[in-house]
Amino acid sequence: DAKTTQPNSMESNEEEPVHLPCNHSTISGTDYIHWYRQLPSQGPEYVIHGLTSNVNNRMASLAIAEDRKSSTLILHRATLRDAAVYYCILRDRFRSSARQLTFGSGTQLTVLP
Amino acid sequence: DAGVTQSPTHLIKTRGQQVTLRCSPKSGHDTVSWYQQALGQGPQFIFQYYEEEERQRGNFPDRFSGHQFPNYSSELNVNALLLGDSALYLCASSHRLLDATNEKLFFGSGTQLSVL
């Protein structure tokens, strides 16, 4: 299975954009890129996912490199509530393992007031 | 919508004991998965239940077992507890889709298990 690499931690100022990177150089053509985040004392929550094209929703944007070997989760305006561990996860639609999430260590985002 | 609910929130057991954790999925969801999260690490997949059967299993010993009921709720049982079983146990529910990669998992807040 393809693996992801994320920085251990990042800091951002409140009300500024945040770009969270994820490297997945061995990604396959059928791997979807998913992002989940885990707020303190809570379970993970879904953020966004995509295959090739950039994706937007009310929480964030996902920018996927043209070669798909990296992606970036963009929080357009960070708030204190966005402080969490962010996980970048690959799910291959043609593998049985697609029905489970394989979490790495994620990126701990600290938002400074 | 109550979301995914887990009980109890905290539990303390001693080595060798058995424990049962419970999960009620989000309304409309038919699939339940269980994850173990050790301190400072990402969650690790234990197993998944759909139509009252275990469909997938992660790299966990047979001491970990589960059940899904007709109302889609689920239990996680751990026998012969070890100190290393101390962790946050997370339940996630989803609505099973033909294309699994479009399934969104909804997690509960977990049960914190301490084994002394």
Q: pLDDT band for position A4 (50/70/90)?
A: very high
Strands B10-13 and B111-115: parallel
Strand order in the sheet with A18-23: A18-23, A70-75, A61-64, A55-56
Measure CB to CB from residue A87 to each of B31, B33, B42 and give the nearest one: B42
Taking an 8 Å cut-off on Cβ atoms, the answer to whether B107 and A98 are in contact is no
Strand order in the sheet with B5-7: B5-7, B19-24, B74-78, B64-68
> How far apart are the C-alpha atoms of A9 and A13, rounded to whole Å?
14
Give the integer Cα–Cα distance in Å for B8 and B23. 9
Would an 8 Å CB–CB cutoff place A74 in contact with chain B?
A: no
| A19 DSSP β-pair partners | A74
pLDDT of residue A73: 98
Among candidates A46, A91, A106 on the partner chain, residue whose Cβ is nearest the Cβ of B101: A91
Q: What is the pLDDT of residues A21-40, one digit of tens each?
A: 999 999 999 999 999 999 99
- A46-74 confidence digits (pLDDT tens): 999 999 989 999 999 999 999 999 999 99
Q: Note whether A102 contacts B45, CB cutoff 8 Å.
A: yes
